[in-house]
Structure 1
Amino acid sequence: MTSATSELLSVQGLHVAFPGRRGAPAARAVDGVDLGIRRGEIVALVGESGSGKTTLARCLLGLVPPTAGRITFDGAPLERSGRALKAYRRRAQLVLQDPSGSLNPRHTVYDIVAEGLRIHGHAGDERAAVAEALSRAGLRPPERFFLRYPHELSGGQRQRVVIAGALVLEPEFLVADEPVASLDASVRGEILALLLRLRTELGLSALVVTHDLGLAWNIADRVAVMYLGRIVETGAVEQVLTAPRHPYTQALLSVLPEAPGAPVVLTGEPPDPSHIPTGCRFHVRCQVLAGGEAERVGVADACRSRDLEVLHGGDESQVACHWARARAEQPTAGGGGGDGAAVRPG
């Protein structure tokens, strides 16, 4: 296990709740998360829409205030003052999903990339910094793109401009929110290869937010699966995605084209985060509980009534599931490997 001292970013007991309307209960978008990201590590945060992934990511960047908990960056607690957040955002940058929506159509590529330098009072050679960022993002020769506008670029080129705008401040940490979701399949691989190259060349750490398990397989060192505000399974990407232990992870993987067997169709939508179920928060949709398997190992009542503790932020394999833990304790369970499909996402 890697020492916690090598972590660049650490989260302990993070909660984010949004007040309900007209006296309704608060929506617990992030409901207890511990997470550590080491220097030079890429962690994929996966889950359905509404699981809390984007809220957690925005909280890590200081864009959404936590209701409770602590965020530590480079060994120091993240402070909420305007000056402290401005200094932090030089070191931690966001890459958004839709380059068309995040690029000002009235600004040239040069001005878009230079904007961060101007906000933070860059004292060096602005033109050289912009050129270097564009070159690192794969737009070469960079001068050819200086006076072009977003509408004159392809989707892949626009995403590279977004990445260049993040790189120009020489950050240590990137949050990439669905970084290739809006791109054609032919371009996706190029952008993923770029992110991996930047990690190698610059030592960047990254949190990649995605619903795409194939993307997680291709880019991440570690994966954290999120459901209804909590991380329910985490570990090395190959371990989690080839031998998933949590029924939710198994269901997500079962719908991939490469997965053997029939897809698991989850009933209903994720519960309202203002009315989180008692017990395991997944139990109302759980195919293992519905199929009687939890009853057979004696945990069905626990699934419905006993909450699971928050997984700690370490890098070893962890799962928040009464059934998976009960099976792991049984000698015949094969050491806790899941019944889910062993699949190598493409």
Structure 2
Amino acid sequence: MTSTTPPPPSRTAPLLSAEGLHVTFPGRHGAAQARAVDGVDLDIRPGEIVALVGESGCGKTTLARSLLGLVPPTAGRVTFAGRPLEYSSRALKAYRRRVQLVLQDPSGSLNPRHTVYDAVAEGLRIHRYAGDERAAVAEALSRAGLRPPERFFLRYPHELSGGQRQRVVIAGALVLEPELIVADEPVASLDASVRGEILALLLRLRTELGLSALVVTHDLGLAWNIADRVAVMYLGRIVETGAVEQVLTAPQHPYTQALLSVLPEAPGDPVVLTGEPPDPSRIPSGCRFHARCQILASGEAERASVADACREQDLPVLAGGGRAQVACHWARVVRTEAVGQVRP
């Protein structure tokens, strides 16, 4: 592995892209199909960390699995380095050498009967690595912060702390020298004292290796600390996206505002959303958030003359690039009025 300084993500072509992505699952006993991912465009550029944020059940893990080639899309496509992803066994094996998954539960990710050495070397053996296996494993462990690496070779997962186990999982991804990692809730199962260390590690890997990452999380605080860009997902679609500072300091979508309002440092009272997210097999008409929307419930949407549109008019799929975007009738009216007020 060679150290490199990546170019600014905004100036480079996407490394990984979802284009019009849909993933549906058959309903039980003749029920309607569940639209887990219901139209998503998303780009991840070289050296960029994108946080995919949303409640449990919003479709973010299904989207991540589809980007990894684990769940073929029902419609749309995934492209990597400008080429559409192919789903033959050979093509997927080559793709997964370049794109690696880091799961949230290191205890479940590691075989308790395998040593740390075997856990990290497993990917090399699957891909028939022709180089010096011991040196590759040692370098991956060292990059993941387990030094000296030889001290960990013969240890078993139960002999490690939670943070050390997560570093072993990360080393297992790094050993294949991927260009992008998909980290699904990478610190959710760790103590607060260890989370910062793992996040700092991911940032250091981006700096040293030019590594890109998609970080799947329900935690907006984590997104603030690690991401360049954030995509907020609700009921199968991205409803707001943009630079992390812009989205998290001036959220436009009512759903993003509600998620941010419950953070400990957030000003004002938390927004308590009523009800549960709708069933993905029965997505409502209009804005898919309108049944729980505090803006609609308070009458603000009515005063902005968009209440009927909120209930009846669907919103377009947001583009996958880096500019700030929001899928909300009310936010678009408010933003248009604000732009008009600052014009001479």
| TM-score relative to the length of structure 1 | 0.95
Match of 1:159 in 2: 166
Superposition TM-score, scaled by structure 2 size: 0.96
Distance in 2 (alpha carbons) for counterparts of 1:215 and 1:262: 21
Match of 2:136 in 1: 129
Is residue 318 of structure 1 aligned with residue 325 of structure 2? yes
1:3 Cα deviation from its structure 2 partner: 6.7
In the alignment, is residue 34 of structure 1 matched against residue 41 of structure 2? yes
Equivalent residue for 1:249, pick from 241, 256, 259: 256
Specify the alignment match of 2:267 in structure 1: 260
Other-structure match for 1:342: none
For the residue of structure 1 that corresponds to 2:247, the secondary structure is helix
Identical positions, percent: 84
Q: Is the 8 A contact 1:135 1:141 kept in 2?
A: yes
Q: Which secondary structure does the structure 2 equivalent of 1:165 belong to?
A: helix
Tell me if 1:92 matches 2:64. no
Q: CA deviation at 1:65?
A: 1.0
Q: How does 1:1-346 map to 2 (within 5 A)?
A: 6-331=13-338
> What is the alpha-carbon distance in structure 1 between the residues aligned to residue 72 and residue 139 of structure 2?
33
- Deviation, 1:314, is 1.1
Amino acid of the residue matched to residue 211 of structure 1?
Answer: H
Structure 2 unaligned segments of length 5 or more: list them. 1-7
Q: CA RMSD in A?
A: 1.3
- For residues 69-102 of structure 1, the C-alpha deviation after alignment (integer angstroms, 9 at most, x for no partner) is 0111001110010000000000000000000011
What CA deviation, in whole Å up to 9, does each residue of 1:87-134 have, x standing for no partner? 000000000000001100000000000000000010000000000000
Counterpart of 1:340 in structure 2 is none
Q: Are 2:12 and 2:46, in contact at CA under 8 Å, matched by a contact in 1?
A: no
SS at match of 2:278: coil
SS in 1 for 2:43: strand
Structure 1 gaps of 5+ residues are: 336-346
Letter in 1 for 2:44: I
Contact 1:18 1:27 in 2 (8 A): yes
Question: Does the aligned pair in 1 maintain the 2:143–2:171 contact within 8 Å?
Answer: yes
Q: Whole-Å Cα distance in 1 between the matches of residues 287 and 275 of structure 2?
A: 16
The match for 1:338 is: none
**Cα distance between partner residues in 2 of 1:94 and 1:313:** 21
Q: C-alpha distance in 2, partners of 1:304/1:56?
A: 26
Is 246-255 or 322-331 further displaced after alignment? Answer: 322-331
Aligned mates of 1:82, 1:90 — CA distance in 2: 13
**Residue 329 of structure 1 aligns to a residue in which SS?**
helix
In the alignment, is the contact (CA less than 8 A) between 1:328 and 1:334 conserved in 2? no
3-state DSSP class of the match of 1:257?
Answer: coil
Counterpart of 1:145 in structure 2: which amino acid? F
8 Å contact from structure 1 (residues 327, 333) kept in 2: no
Count of residues paired in the alignment: 335
Q: Structure 1 runs of 4+ off > 2 angstroms?
A: 1-5, 331-335
In the alignment, the residues of structure 1 paired with residue 112 and residue 9 of structure 2 have an alpha-carbon distance, to the nearest angstrom, of: 44
* Secondary structure at the counterpart of residue 310 of structure 2: helix
